[in-house]
Amino acid sequence: MHQYVFSGLKVLDVATVIAGPAAAMILGDFGADVIKIEQPGSGDMLRMLSYIPSTPDADNNYFWQMDGRNKRSLALNLKTQEGTDVLHKLVAQCDVYITNQPHPVRESLKLTYDDLRPLNPRMIYTSLTAYGEEGPERDRKGFDQLAYWARSGLMDLMREPGTMPTQALPGMGDHPTAMSIYAGIVTALLHRERTGEGGMVHTSLLANGLWSVSSIAQGAMAGGDMPKYREDNRVDGVLMRVYRTKDDRWLQFNMVRSEELLSLMFAAMGAIHLLEDERFSTRERLTENRELLGDLVQEIIAQKSSDEWLETFESMQVPVNRIGIVEETVDDVQVLQNAMAVRPQADDIDVPLVLNHPIKITSVPQVGPKRAPDLGEHSEEILKELGYSDDAVSGMKERGVI
């Protein structure tokens, strides 16, 4: 059997939906034995996200195959004493425990870090909350569109001035937060390797949202003039706005960052005369009249297709980008050659391409995506590994424990 960096590492995924389970998936991708604990009957809501109105329709459960891969599923009713006993046995053997249960639920089930630590002091207990471990919102429920996107201020800033705030995409905050969870776990594992000491890793959706908006939030916390910031950004600079082409695509000029490139850009458009216009002839006047100049640039860009403009700008070595559409990633050579998405080798995965997490290490091989498990698919197998007899397992089934 191939040895991976986390071969032999035992992980309990006692989390739901995206961020916690995705972090567990990454550990599984690097060889960990990940056991997903799910409620019998319904399972993790993650199993349903391919079928909600805000995700594309497909003939397969792609969301579950992406974030549920490389795990085993144990359907376990934690509201029963027998179910809790099984979990305690697993905790005693595990290396990593991941949960996003609200604090009141953990406290009622006696599944807090303080409750479980005596069973396994070397365990890395990983806690994800919406708003943090302390404070008045400690027990408040929330998901990424609320805590990461709205509460952090991102939702307010990421819109055109005067327009309504826009909702985030499903998982847009959860997947980056999964990377923070994974980083915390790996840091704690390194600490344990050096000291033998386990510990509690924790992060929140709000903390990760603030980290994403930190370039502006740090300015606010430093006493920056936020009304001036908002006014200055009410109208985009010429190079910060986007421009619609004849074929209804959009071009982005953010990488034009020098006077030389600016001159080349206008030369490529056949509009060098605009830079000589007295309304735009100095940096100050260009800034003052940036909306007018941007409108003039838009008139020119609208005359040709995006392919034509990209060819023209490339010939002048002007770094202009076309804004991508997500459908194009399906056969994007750059995506495929860098294994950002991979074609599964396993015959039982019915998703043509599976998106990868962004961690790539040349010396650390990754497990190819294995089919995400059916609910409770490995319940009997896992219980027998814990020493339960066939009769005991059958009895648990009859009593609704598994």
185 CB-contact burial (10 Å; exposed 0-12 / middle 13-18 / buried 19+): buried
Global pTM value: 0.94
Structure tokens at 348: 């039982």
Digit-by-digit pLDDT tens for the chain (402 residues) are 679 999 999 999 999 999 999 999 999 999 999 999 999 998 999 999 999 999 999 999 999 999 999 999 999 999 999 999 999 999 999 999 999 999 999 999 999 999 999 999 999 999 999 999 999 999 999 999 999 999 999 999 999 888 999 999 999 999 999 999 999 999 999 999 999 999 999 999 999 999 999 999 999 999 999 999 999 999 999 999 999 999 999 999 999 999 999 999 999 999 999 988 999 988 889 889 999 999 999 999 999 999 999 999 999 999 999 999 999 999 999 999 999 999 998 889 999 999 999 999 999 999 989 999 999 999 999 999 999 999 999 999 999 999
Which CA distances in Å does 76 have to 12, 97, 402? 12, 15, 5
Give, for 114, the enclosing helix (H) or strand (E). helix 113-116
Q: Which domains does the chain have, with CATH numbers?
A: 10-213+339-398 (3.40.50.10540), 242-322 (3.30.1540)
Structure tokens at 243: 């421009």
Report the DSSP beta bridge partners of residue 102: none
